[in-house]
Amino acid sequence: MDKKLLEYLSGYITPQRLELYNKVLATRTRYLTVVLEDIFQAQNASAVLRTCDCFGVQDVHIIENRNEFKVNREIAMGSSKWLTMKKYNGAENGNLEVIRKLKAENYRIVATTPHLNDQELPDFDLSKGKTALVFGSELPGITDSIINEADEFLKIPMYGFTESFNISVSAAIILHHLTLKMRQDNNIDWRLSEQESDEIKLEWIRKGIKRPDLLEKRFLKGNIS
């Protein structure tokens, strides 16, 4: 991460915009991350992205084994621009690829689905470590291959006749509860590192200025000469 490049490109946005970026990044987290498996309804996909941005969850992992992940711009409200979206598609075992990648990064894989050994949301122990929340497709839910790889199972308490919430509602309820709990726990190191923050800020600045490629070439030429 070239801090001089970041400083150089920062000069092409307003001080107010830079201040806003710093303010938002101070509340961003990778302690919680979201995995979406084969979501096919654009309104649901978009609503989850908007929820992740609103609650400060930076990374969203998107599995497209069967369905293409489509964003409805009116619902997403530009949220995808501020998130780090990682897509896994075209591979026969794309769902296992992301799960094993997250496990290698020391994430607990938590499937949001009813299960014999599940925990209810109020009882979930967030202090045990970084958590990847998996949400499955609207009708079939999370696939057996991910369920078999899951470390824990999580459900929202419900008291009516309906079996489950819509996926976007489920994501909103869970993320609201867990991000609030996370920020109130002084023993959880949930903030981004300085390097992570700088890398994300650089990407945001690139998206917000015209022809960043030309500006970067000018910067590199000035440093070489």
What does the pLDDT look like over 35-78, one tens digit per residue?
998 777 778 888 999 999 999 999 999 887 776 777 767 666 68
φ, ψ at 84 (rounded to 5°): -95, 105
Which two tokens mark 147? 């369920």
Contacts of 129 (CB under 8 A, 6+ apart): 106, 107, 108
Q: Tell me which amino acid residue 84 is.
A: T
Residues 100, 139 share a domain = yes
Residues 108, 199 share a domain = no
Tell me, what's the pLDDT at 124?
A: 95
- 27 is an annotated ligand-binding site residue: no
What count of other Cβ atoms lies within 10 Å of the Cβ of residue 2? 14
Residue 158: which region, alpha, beta or left (left: phi > 0; alpha: psi -120 to 50)? beta
Residues 83, 6 share a domain = no
| CATH classification at residue 164 | 3.40.1280.10
Residues 52, 158 share a domain = yes
How far apart are alpha carbons 201 and 115 in whole angstroms?
39
- Residue 117: domain span: 29-190
What count of other Cβ atoms lies within 10 Å of the Cβ of residue 26? 11
Residues 134, 173 share a domain = yes
Residues 163 and 141 sit within 8 Å (Cβ to Cβ)? no
Domain count of the fold of the chain: 2
Residues 183, 136 share a domain = yes
Which two tokens mark 21? 């970026």
Query: What is the residue-averaged pLDDT of the chain?
Result: 89
Q: Tell me which amino acid residue 36 is.
A: L
Query: 28 or 65, which is more confident?
Result: 28
Residues 178, 82 share a domain = yes
Residues 50, 2 share a domain = no
DSSP bridge pairs for 109: 132
- 33 is an annotated ligand-binding site residue: no
Residues 13, 113 share a domain = no
Which two tokens mark 94? 């794309």
Rg for the chain (alpha carbons), in Å?
Answer: 19
pLDDT exceeds 60 at position 207: yes
